[in-house]
């Protein structure tokens, strides 16, 4: 399944590059890395539009889960800001 290999390699390359860039900027917040991974995952999954329908369903489910995690981070940040003010 060449398409699956390409999909996994694209994700791995993006995760590696983004980690290197953020580490290069001395980013010390884990949620920043996680948020970037989620965005990259959602974009790559969207761009690989021709994946097998079964694969797409499963990957979309994982996407919802990750997006949920992203929302939790956003909510925690908002609470933090509100508490600070």
Partner 1 sequence: MYHSVYTSVYTRIGAALLVAGGLAAPVFYVVAQSVPLTALALAAILLGTTALLLGRSLPGIPPQAAEVLLQTGLENVARLLEEIGLDTRAIYLPSRLSGGRPRALIPLDGTVPREGPLRPVADRLIVDFGPRPEDVGILVATPGTAAAEMAPPAQAGGSAELEAGLARVLVGALDVAATVDVAREDGMVRVTLTGLRLTHPDLWIYRSLGTPLASVAATYVAEGLDRPVVIQSEDRRGDRLTVWLDVRA
Kindly list the residues in this chain that would bind partner 1 in the complex (CB under 8 A): 1-4, 7-8, 11-12, 15-16, 19, 22-23, 27-30, 33-34, 37, 41, 49-55, 57-59, 62, 66
CA-CA distance, 41 to 12, in Å (whole number)?
10
- Host H or E run for residue 7: helix 2-24
Of residues 12 and 75, the one with the C-beta less far from partner 1: 12
Supply the minimum distance, in Å, between the C-beta of residue 54 and partner 1. 4
CA-CA distance, 58 to 47, in Å (whole number)?
16
Supply the minimum distance, in Å, between the C-beta of residue 3 and partner 1. 6
Q: E-assigned strands of the chain?
A: none
């Amino acid at each position: 399944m060449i398409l699956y290999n390409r999909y996994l390699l694209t994700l791995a390359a993006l995760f590696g590059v983004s980690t290197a860039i953020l580490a290069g900027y001395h980013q010390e917040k884990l949620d920043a890395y996680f948020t970037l991974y989620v965005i990259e995952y959602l974009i790559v999954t969207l761009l690989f539009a021709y994946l097998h329908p079964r694969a797409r369903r499963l990957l979309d489910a994982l996407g919802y889960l990750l997006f949920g995690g992203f929302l939790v981070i956003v909510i925690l940040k908002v609470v933090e800001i509100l508490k600070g003010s």
